[in-house]
Amino acid sequence: MPPLKGVSGLESSRLDDRVAHWQRFRTGDFDQKWNSSKLIVREGKTAIAPLLELLGDLSADAETHWFTVRALGHFPEPNVIAAIAAQIDNTAYINRTAEQVTELSAFAIETLAAMGPVAVTVLSQLLEQPQRRLLAAKALNQVRSTGVIPAMVSVAGDDDAKVRYYAVDALGSFHSVTVTPVLLAALDDLSAPVRKAAVMALGRRQDLQAACHLSQRLQPLLWDVDLNVSCQTALALGRLGADDSLDALNQVLLSKHTPISLRTNTVSALKWYCDRPEADLTGQTTQRAFALLNGALKQFCSGSEADALQTLTAEETSQIVVAIVRVMGDLRHGAMAQNSTQCLIDSLQAGPAAVVIQVVAMALAGLGQPQAFDALLPLLNHPVDAVLMHTIAALKRLDPDQSFERVSIYLEHCPNNRANVLKLW
């Protein structure tokens, strides 16, 4: 007997299953949506239209839209890419909180980025639409493929500062002759985030130092009106390591007009000069950088009336000294370790604040130079308990086997010693 015309029982069952998993995808809990999305993806391109329809449903909840974007991410079609890009910073949905808008925007960008170069063409075309240019730039910023270079160069001079930022930030990832003039021009941008993005990118381009006089181009930004740009410039100059930047960095470090965050970033910049694997005290640039660090340490420890101290509180001064001490404590290679040790020992003679002494003690312990042990012994009589505990920890680290005996001998000949020191060993 021939089969009946129409839908067979098996086909009807499959249809019912399909309707059921779509229903669970729309209204189910997280686990149901997760399992149903796998089945929907298996349907292939036939799933695209209903998924796009669901993505456009302004009343659907944020979780459903998240799963919808996730499912659509398997189909790198032009209309899909455009629809996902439209989710970035979309506030039209009535059931999304501000936090959910942020989360879905981030996930949309992540999904587009995962599509890779295939998404570049569509997103580049969206740049031509003024109302979608920012969203497209934001998405392209995440697709770190050389294919985005032409598109990002085309909007690096856009009227919208946010578009320029995403363009410059993305272009900074590529070493291309096309990119270099764009980054250099961005140093003069009216937008601080754009300038900062350019500084960050150029600070990684030591290959441009000679040809573009990069350090000279960056130095004026140490005094940028935006503090974030100034701080980033100091770090960039440190990474470039040019000798001609040292005077500018020192001026910033010691000027009475310098904010505390910029001072500490300048200290970090000087560390880059001293902490390269090949660095030792035979190099002129390294010598100068280390001398500047030591000079600043002496000045800030001395409590003098120098310009650098006129606008600082005692707490801020200690903060700068601590930053310098920590840098010196990290210079543990070759002659650097010996010279750092001596500079830190000398700093104790100025009677710095207790918080500084604690950091000096641990820095000396980390440097591991034998002369530091005897220099720390007088601190066992310091009236601040925290200093005592840090000193004991440092002495133990410097001489794990003999520290107790050496301290005992020292205390026997010290008339005003603290009786509880050995009990703490």
Determine the pLDDT at residue 138.
87
Q: Can you give the pLDDT of all 425 residues of the chain as single tens digits?
A: 334 444 444 455 565 678 888 999 999 999 999 999 999 999 999 999 999 999 999 889 999 999 999 999 999 999 999 899 888 878 888 888 989 988 998 898 889 888 878 888 888 988 998 988 998 898 899 887 899 999 999 999 999 999 999 999 999 999 999 999 999 999 999 999 999 999 999 999 999 999 999 999 999 999 999 999 999 999 999 999 999 999 999 999 999 899 999 999 999 999 999 987 655 555 889 999 999 999 999 999 876 555 556 678 889 999 999 999 999 999 988 889 999 999 999 999 888 899 999 999 999 999 999 999 999 999 998 989 999 999 999 999 999 999 999 998 888 888 776 667 777 77
CA–CA dist 304, 300 (Å, integer)? 8
CA–CA dist 395, 384 (Å, integer)? 17
Determine the pLDDT at residue 277.
62
CA–CA dist 281, 70 (Å, integer)? 56
Q: Is 117 in contact with 147 (CB distance < 8 Å)?
A: yes
CA–CA dist 211, 207 (Å, integer)? 8
SS3 182: helix
> Which residue, among 241, 192, 189, 193, has the nearest Cα to 215 in the 3D structure?
241
Determine the pLDDT at residue 335.
85
CA–CA dist 366, 393 (Å, integer)? 11
> Which residue, among 111, 40, 110, 37, has the nearest Cα to 73 in the 3D structure?
111
> Taking the C-alpha atoms of 55, 60, 65 and 71 in order, what is their torsion angle to the nearest 10 degrees?
-60
CA–CA dist 353, 40 (Å, integer)? 66
Determine the pLDDT at residue 205.
95
Amino acid, res. 181: P
Determine the pLDDT at residue 334.
81
Q: Which residue has the tokens 């949506």?
A: 33
Determine the pLDDT at residue 197.
98
DSSP sequence for 73-116:
TT---HHHHHHHHTTTT----TT--HHHHHHHHHHHHHHHHHHT
CA–CA dist 195, 185 (Å, integer)? 9
Measured over the CA atoms of residue 410, residue 412, residue 416 and residue 422, the dihedral's sign is positive
Determine the pLDDT at residue 365.
97
CA–CA dist 217, 187 (Å, integer)? 8
Determine the pLDDT at residue 18.
82
Q: How far apart are the first and last CA of the chain?
A: 98
Task: Enumerate residues 6+ apart whose C-beta is below 8 A from 323.
Answer: 263, 264, 267, 268
Query: Rounded to the nearest 5 degrees, what angle is found at the Cα of 119, between the Cα atoms of 115 and 125?
Result: 170
Predicted TM-score of the model (pTM): 0.81
Q: Is 280 in contact with 334 (CB distance < 8 Å)?
A: yes
Determine the pLDDT at residue 69.
95
Determine the pLDDT at residue 247.
96
Domain spans of the chain, in order of start: 56-162+177-182
